[in-house]
Amino acid sequence: MKTDYGKLTWEEVRDADKDRVIILPVAATEDHGPHMVLDTDTLLGTSIAREVAVRSPEDVLIMPSIPYGFNEHHKDFPGVIWIQPETLIAFVTDVTKSLAHHGFRRILLLNSHGSNHPVLDLAARKTVIENDIICVSASYWNLMSDRINAIRKSPTGGIAHAGEFEAAMYMHLDPEHVYPEKAASQIIHDPSSRYFNLDLAAGGSRAMLMRWWSAASPDGTMGDPTVADAETGRQYFEAAVEETIGLVKEIRRLPMLKRTDHH
Within a domain: 155:
yes
Measure Cα distances from 83 to 27, 69, 127 in Å: 11, 5, 19
Within a domain: 89:
yes
CATH of the domain at 147: 3.40.50.10310
Within a domain: 198:
yes
The whole-number pLDDT of residue 126 equals 98
Domain count, the chain: 1
Query: pLDDT confidence of 159, banded at 50, 70, 90?
Result: very high
Within a domain: 262:
no
DSSP E strand stretches across 154-204: 159-161
Within a domain: 152:
yes
DSSP E strand stretches across 27-119: 60-62, 106-111
pLDDT digits (tens, 9 = 90+) for 195-216: 888 889 986 678 888 899 999 9
On whether the pTM is more than 0.85, the answer is yes
The whole-number pLDDT of residue 204 equals 67
The whole-number pLDDT of residue 72 equals 97
Residue 20: give the domain boundaries.
Answer: 5-253
Instruction: Give dist(CA 177, CA 233) in Å, integer.
Output: 14
Within a domain: 261:
no
Percent of the residues in the chain that have a pLDDT greater than 70, as a whole number: 99
Instruction: Give dist(CA 120, CA 252) in Å, integer.
Output: 20
pLDDT digits (tens, 9 = 90+) for 163-185: 999 999 999 999 999 999 999 99
pLDDT digits (tens, 9 = 90+) for 98-108: 999 999 999 99
With a cut of 90, say whether residue 190 has pLDDT above it: no
Average pLDDT over residues 68-93: 98
Within a domain: 186:
yes
- Name the helix (H) or strand (E) containing 134: strand 134-139
